[in-house]
Amino acid sequence: MGELTRRDFLLTASAVTAATTLRASARITLGYAAITWGGNDVQAIEDVSSLGFKGIQLRSSAVDRFADKPAELKALLQQHHLTMAVLSSGNLRLDPAFEAEDLAKHTKNAQFVHAIGGTYMQVLDEPPKGKTLSADDYQRMGRLLTELGKRTADAGIPLVYHNHMNSMSQPPEGTAAIMEATDPRHVRLLLDVAHYQQGGGDPVKAVAQYKDRIQVVHFKDVVSPAPSVEGAPPRPYQFVELGRGTVNLKAVMSALNQINYQGWGIIELDAVPDKARTPKDCAAINRDYARQELHLTL
């Protein structure tokens, strides 16, 4: 192959690769989580919309405020051109004393999601405190999640399970046990890449492993240990803006492209890491990283 031909070949290959990446990235609809606003959901809606996002993930604080007036929240979201991509409905406790109560609560929340035109409902598991978990516990949680998924489906809302620190899914083998114990027709996975990494897993491998179960992705970053703060006890980790932690988000994005992922990508930051910034400031940093480094579009 001559020099000119080789150069032309490399240029063409690069162009094809870039075009493929852009096409795959365009399959992701980008949203933002309201958790950073600490329950000030109306302000979160205004800020997230002003930054150009298409969707928002709200929490149970929104249910508390708008439970008796879902039409008001629906109108507010429409006014700001936002879809409620996900509702964080809370925990599902692995305790027979609370199972009926939790199933009823989350089913009611799914009906709320449907009433405001939302898309998915998320739950976490809550293991018993101080108990060594057994295989039977994972099976029981799987059955409980499946039952809830059937009920939310009846309300018109699919259920997504969120892997999370301090839950049964904290280690990667815990996530695997939960997913194996649930019926894929009724329980899908919300893969949080930072929680998965902090729990000891490789989020890039998780994308491939759960390619048939992933319904929502949390784009999130983490540093471990957390930066020290004078006068405060040390913390094992801290969630930070995208690109400022140790999660290989570009590799995650590449893995999502490889499986042709199509769905919501929700950027999440639990709290403002630097108190000199506002939640909106952090959201702008995250948006810019997603667009410039991950080639995601709003």
| Mean pLDDT, residues 237-260 taken together | 97
User: Per the domain annotation, does 8 fall within a domain?
Assistant: no
Q: What is the 3-state secondary structure (H, E, C) of the chain?
A: CCHHHHHHHHHHHHHHHHHHHHHHHCCEEEEEEHHHHCCCHHHHHHHHHHCCCCEEEECHHHHHHHCCCHHHHHHHHHHCCCEEEEEEEEEEECCHHHHHHHHHHHHHHHHHHHHCCCCEEEEEEECCCCCCCCHHHHHHHHHHHHHHHHHHHHCCCCEEEECCCCCCCCCHHHHHHHHHHCCCCCEEEEEEHHHHHHCCCCHHHHHHHCCCCEEEEEECEEECCCCCCCCCCCCCCEEECCCCCCCCHHHHHHHHHHCCCCEEEEECCCCCCCCCCCHHHHHHHHHHHHHHCCCCCC
In-domain check, residue 2: no
Q: Is residue 89 part of a domain?
A: yes
Rounded mean pLDDT, 109-136: 96
Q: What is the number of domains present in the chain? A: 1
The answer to whether residue 9 sits within a structural domain is no
Q: Is residue 51 a part of any domain in this protein? A: yes
- Is residue 298, in this structure, part of any structural domain at all? no
Residue at 7 is within a domain: no
- pLDDT number for residue 189: 98
pLDDT exceeding 70 applies to what percent of the chain? 91
Domain that holds residue 263: 16-292
For position 169, which CATH number holds? 3.20.20.150
In a domain, 245, yes or no: yes
In this predicted structure, what is the pLDDT of residue 231? Answer: 83
**Interval 271-296 mean pLDDT:** 97
